[in-house]
Structure 1
Amino acid sequence: MYLFVSTINEAVIDRRYDNPKILSGPVLTNSPNAVLSKTLLGRYNDLSLPADSILATYIWIDGSGEHLRCKDRTLKYIPKVPKDNFTRVITELNDKYISKLNANLKWKHAKEHSPPYFCPKDLENVFTIRCKLRERENRNSFDENLKDLPVWNFDGSSTGQATGHNSDTFLVPRAIYKDPFRRGNHILVMCDTFKYNMEPTESNHRVKCQEAYDKCKDDEPWFGIEQEYILLDSDLRPFGWPPGGFPPPQGPYYCGVGANKVFARDLVEAHYRCCLFAGVPIAGTNAEVMPSQWEFQVGPSVGVSAGDDLWIARYILHRLAEEYGVIVTFDPKPVQDWNGSGAHTNFSTKKMREENGIIEIEKAIDKLSKVHMKHIKVYDPRGGKDNERRLTGLHETASINDFSAGVANRGSSIRIPRLVAEEKKGYLEDRRPASNCDPYAVTDALMRTCILNE
């Protein structure tokens, strides 16, 4: 059986992810070069970088619809977060008010009423917007003004998103997270992808998800996604399993404690901390039913941001697994006769969370029952083929061919938690999405069915 331990190098302090100022970390020993490579990397992590350089990692979903790609670039300014809907509305109000005001003023008086002293009357009694001109400091020509992240491009023919004779594919930044690996001002950037003519690529489900959210944002759709995954060793066997054999039957592993019940807890702990540092709203984590199977929960996230948060959490997990020398798989059913992996999606609207919201929950379940197979087709990247292996009616799943719902029933398509049934308000849990689903596609389908009645 493989062992999972932390190796401490006397020259550099261990447990890199316990303290952002400490740059060394625990190492998985089943990779013979892991200790050496980790120690060497630690020698360069604390190199001082130029004050005017910020490293940005652009991250995107490739043509498979389930795998991530990334590449880095240097920025010479501090980027600002892409505008959310609220900021966009406020900006438009400001612009319209300024234009209207200036149109009726003579030029000699315009400066008295223009920013930075402008406070729009349209937003009176809501909040006050104060714009003040910042004094610019000269730090080696470093531009301290916030700027938009640039649109970038990549070779789409190498990621299954374009042809070789017209390969340039665009990356459009959508969300910024702090980089837990480089720290400082360095960032992770979640992007979506567009073809040469600026039409979304086939794997870009974020665009439709954003459109759905824009239509129903007043309903305040909240999502919490329970991401299950399995760790593999270099032989593509579940990590910690006996070579050529199987561990004892499932039973003691779920939320287990002990070296013979759980494997790679250090990796899971590092992931938890890195997500919190990055700004991902990770709510918890636990060992799952199969040994070397784990789960983390992301949320509550509002609308399309649920997809951004989960994809970045997946990226961080993959990056950490590189350092630990293991492989993360989101395959829904890598081992027969053991529990598979899902991405159970908890969903609620404002009305569901209010008194007697159970009525709205039951209405949503009725709507979902009428489009069951339509959802199944978007709940994994292969149109339901992956879920056929997982949704068998066994191992805490419902049959892929039948829709069902029940209170506290983990063998149903939709589960109403016991506490929700007792309080008569809260949320529902859709247990059908596969672990390798695109959360943009899942949340889009739930909003369109349950709120927009499409």
Structure 2
Amino acid sequence: MSSLADLINLDLSDSTDQIIAEYIWIGGSGLDMRSKARTLPGPVTDPSQLPKWNYDGSSTGQAPGDDSEVIIYPQAIFKDPFRRGNNILVMCDAYTPAGEPIPTNKRHAAAKIFEDPSVVAEETWYGIEQEYTLLQKDIKWPVGWPVGGFPGPQGPYYCGVGADKAFGRDIVDSHYKACLYAGINVSGTNGEVMPGQWEFQVGPTVGIAAADQVWVARYILERITELAGVVLSLDPKPIPVCFLFHHYS
């Protein structure tokens, strides 16, 4: 009998040309990630080849219960590091059935800016540093911190090495490799100033692709922490100490 791990890692390419596409979008808080999967008849190389889809916006805080349908438009595709093969992750943005961007869809307006010929000619480069904190699941306290207590003073943890300085490196390294596999331009990662706090960098990447890649990198990280049984916090001040930095040239 196959184990759960065997089935999770099952390679579909030997038995079907069909692929699984995981559609990803931003939820009603503007920070939470949502996703659901669908079967497609074969490999896809461009988001224009993908069908639009829908979801219940009343369950994500993005539509009223009496008019809850929200349509998601595929905008960028990435290789799926979880299912692998020809399976893909699809970054989407959200619209009403009439084709109007919903209020939490900030990508629509950004895309118009980045499509402006003067902006295209400028070839804007972005480098984004995303700090995050790994929290113990049941108590929402950073990994590496004593329960109900605090770690030693700042100093040994930044870019630190060792079991008493670096907490969660298996998650960090898994995320780094998964992002590179997916096609995300991750340029580095490092431990931050407190135990359980880390950072990854995306870029330099041109235009709106930088934002798409950061969101999918966040999604991949959330999936990995789900598997690891820890909680991901992107809160700028969860304890408080985390930030998101943007570099532009």
TM-score normalized with structure 1 length: 0.52
1:53 alignment partner in structure 2 = 18
> Matches of residues 114-263 of structure 1 in structure 2 within 5 Å?
148-215=49-116, 216-234=119-137, 235-263=139-167
The answer to whether the 8 A contact 2:27-2:34 is kept is yes
The answer to whether the 8 A contact 1:162-1:195 is kept is no
Q: Which structure has the larger Rg?
A: 1
In 1, Cα distance between the equivalents of 2:221 and 2:24? 13
1:46, distance to aligned residue in structure 2 (A): 4.1
In 2, Cα distance between the equivalents of 1:273 and 1:254? 21
More strand by share: 2
The answer to whether the 8 A contact 2:79-2:183 is kept is yes
Name the aligned partner's letter for residue 58 of structure 1: Y
1:242, distance to aligned residue in structure 2 (A): 0.6
The match for 1:310 among 196, 206, 214 is: 214
Structure 1 residues 169 and 298: CA distance shift in structure 2, 3 A: same
The match for 2:32 among 67, 90, 105 is: 67
1:232, distance to aligned residue in structure 2 (A): 0.1
Matching of residue 292 in structure 1 with residue 196 in structure 2? yes
Could you say what secondary structure the match of 1:78 adopts? coil
**Which runs of 5 or more residues in structure 2 are unaligned?**
none
Name the aligned partner's letter for residue 210 of structure 1: A
Deviations 1:169-198 (A, max 9, x none): 001000000000000000000000001221
**Which of 1 and 2 has higher RCO (CA within 8 Å, sep 6+)?**
2
1:321 alignment partner in structure 2 = 225
Name the aligned partner's letter for residue 307 of structure 1: A
In 1, Cα distance between the equivalents of 2:39 and 2:192? 40
In 2, Cα distance between the equivalents of 1:41 and 1:278? 24
The answer to whether the 8 A contact 1:224-1:299 is kept is yes
Structure 1 residues 333 and 48: CA distance shift in structure 2, 3 A: closer
1:275 alignment partner in structure 2 = 179
1:82, distance to aligned residue in structure 2 (A): 2.8
> Matches of residues 267-416 of structure 1 in structure 2 within 5 Å?
267-336=171-240, 340-348=241-249
In 1, Cα distance between the equivalents of 2:132 and 2:9? 32
1:43 alignment partner in structure 2 = 6
In 1, Cα distance between the equivalents of 2:226 and 2:4? 13
In 2, Cα distance between the equivalents of 1:268 and 1:48? 25
Q: Indicate the RMSD between aligned Cα atoms, in angstroms.
A: 1.3
1:40, distance to aligned residue in structure 2 (A): 4.4
In 2, Cα distance between the equivalents of 1:173 and 1:315? 16
Number of corresponding residues: 243
1:263, distance to aligned residue in structure 2 (A): 0.1
In 2, Cα distance between the equivalents of 1:75 and 1:217? 33
1:307, distance to aligned residue in structure 2 (A): 0.7
1:52, distance to aligned residue in structure 2 (A): 2.4
More helix by share: 1
The answer to whether the 8 A contact 1:53-1:74 is kept is yes
In 2, Cα distance between the equivalents of 1:277 and 1:267? 15
Give percent identity, aligned residues only.
53
Matching of residue 77 in structure 1 with residue 42 in structure 2? yes
Name the aligned partner's letter for residue 8 of structure 2: N
The answer to whether the 8 A contact 2:76-2:92 is kept is yes
In 2, Cα distance between the equivalents of 1:192 and 1:311? 11
Could you say what secondary structure the match of 1:285 adopts? strand
1:48, distance to aligned residue in structure 2 (A): 4.6
**Which runs of 5 or more residues in structure 1 are unaligned?**
1-38, 84-147, 349-454
Could you say what secondary structure the match of 2:222 adopts? helix
